[in-house]
Structure formats: C-alpha cells, structure tokens
Amino acid sequence: MALSILHRITGIGLAVGTLLLIYWLWAAASGAEAYFRAQTLIGGWFGRLLLLGWTLALFYHLFNGIRHLFWDAGKGFELRTARLSGAAVVFAALAATAVAWAAGFMAR
C-alpha cells in the first residue's frame, strides 16, 4: 500500500520537478544573466537537493511502473513476491540514483 501511494506522490513530484527543468531551459534561452541566476539556484545546495529528489522519484516511478506492468499481466500478486518486488524497486531506485549522480560528478 505504501509503495502504491509513493508511486502517485513521485508522479506528482516528477511533474513539479519538470517545472524546474522548464525554468532552466527558459533561462538558457533568455540570455546570460537569466541563465546565471538559474544556475546559481540549481547549483546551490537547495537546487541540488531538489534535483536529487527528482532523480530518485524518476527511478522509483520507472521501476515501480515496470512492476505494475507485471501486475497488469497477472504476475507477482502472491504476498511474498509482492514484498520482494517492492523491496527490489526501492533498492533499484536508490542504486540507479547513486550511479547516475556518481556518473554526473565524475563527468565534471
């Protein structure tokens, strides 16, 4: 139940996080001063925290969506399987987020 609710919350978070991306793109198209302000916001601790949350929400929503596709096919409804797949979704989302952020920082 909790993972299902979290799936909905991450969907909303992804929509809200997309507004941050739109702001960044708008700033990039608006000139150097606007872009500098956007980079200052997004590059600061709060902006990075938002991006980290957005990344985690993206991967969680992706992996849990795949889990739901299996459920749509009638597979994975047994209690033990549902619990294991839920734990796998959380682990995969955390691992993918860590790998993505590590790759992003190593690319600098």
Q: Where are the chain's structural domains?
A: 2-106
* Closest listed residue to residue 92, CA positions, set 70, 69, 61: 61
pLDDT at 103: 96
pLDDT at 108: 73
Q: Please count the other Cβ atoms lying within 10 Å of the Cβ belonging to residue 26.
A: 12
Report mean pLDDT in 10-residue bins for the chain, 108 residues. Answer: 91 94 96 96 94 96 96 94 96 98 90
pLDDT at 107: 84
CATH code for the structural domain at 2-106: 1.20.1300.10
